[in-house]
Amino acid sequence: MKQTFIAWLTAARLRTLPLSLSGIFFGATVALAIENFDPSVFHWALIVTISLQVLSNFANDLGDGLKGTDNENRIGPKRALQAGLLSARELKTGIVVLVILTGLAIYQLLQGANLNSTSYAVLAILGALSIVAALTYTLGKKPYGYYGLGDFMVFFFFGGVAVLGTIVLFTPNIPFYAIGYTLTAGSLSTAVLNLNNMRDHQSDKASGKNTLVVRMGVERAKIYHYLLLITAYIGFTFSTIAVLSTSSIFLVLAFIFLLPHIQKVRKVKDYRNLDAELKKIALFCFLLSVISFVIAYFK
């Protein structure tokens, strides 16, 4: 029983959950600022996001495992199927169960929110698309993660859908300054994926997984990484001043802590060292969103 529990925890990849929640916290920060916050809706939004992320992780584990991408040459942490902790059949069963639970959670979220018919329909469609996107990153005959589209999808769902979708749960009117938080969550989440793909680019290339890093090369991927961080900085500065006022401008100074990270990425030779860096960016994004939320909550 204990081994089975550990196996499912391994497949769930708990370390990926904080980053996935960042967009929800940023969206809720805007809702607090315009005084349209509902704790119950916020809680269900977190549950839906966690369900979608775990579903994506299960599907990723299965897809990369069946395609042979997760092999002995892969640098990152061992996956459940790769390590023999779970069989393909068990993962498939887990995915089916989680799709059902996620669908029910999305339904409960939409029912609990005070939505007009248009907002309800749009969010229902986005919820369904989120499930499909979670499944098809590495599963299927033409998974988009194998064609260099993962970055776009991460930016769209972790940035646009997470932040703006959360705001719509509270109000149909999205403030223009919310775009800054959208850029922050989307860019930093994409930066984490980019680090992951830089770390794994050699094994991905050998396995036919043509991520954006494989397509553009590592040196260009580093420049792309810097641009993502700059975009996140600009977006966060814009929204922080608009939402939390200039009294919270000290938050923007947090980006100074990314300077050592940039240096490590620039000088990296052993790509295994990027595993620690992607954890730092994921945690950085999460902490930015939570601190912004807490300041808005007590403002």
Burial class (CB in 10 A: 0-12, 13-18, 19+), 162: buried
CB atoms within 10 A of CB 94: 21
Higher local confidence (pLDDT), 209 or 187 = 187
Distance of CA 72 to CAs 77, 211, 243, 273, Å?
A: 11, 19, 47, 17
Classify residue 7: in a domain, yes or no.
no
Classify residue 3: in a domain, yes or no.
no
pLDDT value for 1: 64
Mean pLDDT of 64-68: 77
Q: Is the pLDDT at 54 greater than 70, yes or no?
A: yes
Helices 178-199 and 17-33: crossing angle in degrees, nearest 10, is: 170
Place 10 in a pLDDT band, splitting at 50, 70 and 90. confident
pLDDT value for 72: 65
Q: What is the pTM of this model?
A: 0.94
Residue 146's nearest CA partner among 217, 76, 223, 67 is 67
Classify residue 167: in a domain, yes or no.
yes
125: amino acid identity, one letter: I
How far apart are alpha carbons 288 and 185 in whole angstroms? 10
Per-residue model confidence as pLDDT tens digits over 240-294: 998 887 767 788 899 999 999 999 999 998 888 898 999 999 999 999 999 999 9
Classify residue 159: in a domain, yes or no.
yes
Q: How many domains would you assign to the chain?
A: 1
Classify residue 12: in a domain, yes or no.
no
Q: Is the pLDDT at 63 greater than 70, yes or no?
A: yes
Classify residue 52: in a domain, yes or no.
yes
pLDDT value for 168: 97
Please tell me the least confidently modeled range out of 69-78, 88-97, 104-113: 69-78
User: Counting every residue, how long is the chain?
Assistant: 299
Percent of the chain exceeding pLDDT 90 equals: 71
State whether the Cα torsion 146-148-150-156 is positive or negative.
negative
Residue labelled with tokens 């972790």: 158
Q: Is the pLDDT at 15 greater than 80, yes or no?
A: yes
Q: What are phi and psi of 142, to 5 degrees?
A: -130, 70
Classify residue 15: in a domain, yes or no.
no
How far apart are alpha carbons 9 and 7 in whole angstroms? 5
CATH classification at residue 28: 1.10.600
Classify residue 124: in a domain, yes or no.
yes
pLDDT value for 66: 81
Place 83 in a pLDDT band, splitting at 50, 70 and 90. confident
Residue 228's nearest CA partner among 151, 142, 283 is 151
The boundaries of the domain holding residue 121 are: 22-298
Contact criterion met (CB below 8 Å) for 212 and 197: yes
Average pLDDT of the chain? 92
Could you give the maximum distance between any two Cα atoms of the chain, in Å? 54
Q: What angle do CA 54, 130, 293 make, to 5 degrees?
A: 75
Per-residue model confidence as pLDDT tens digits over 105-154: 999 999 999 899 999 999 999 999 999 999 999 898 889 988 999 999 99
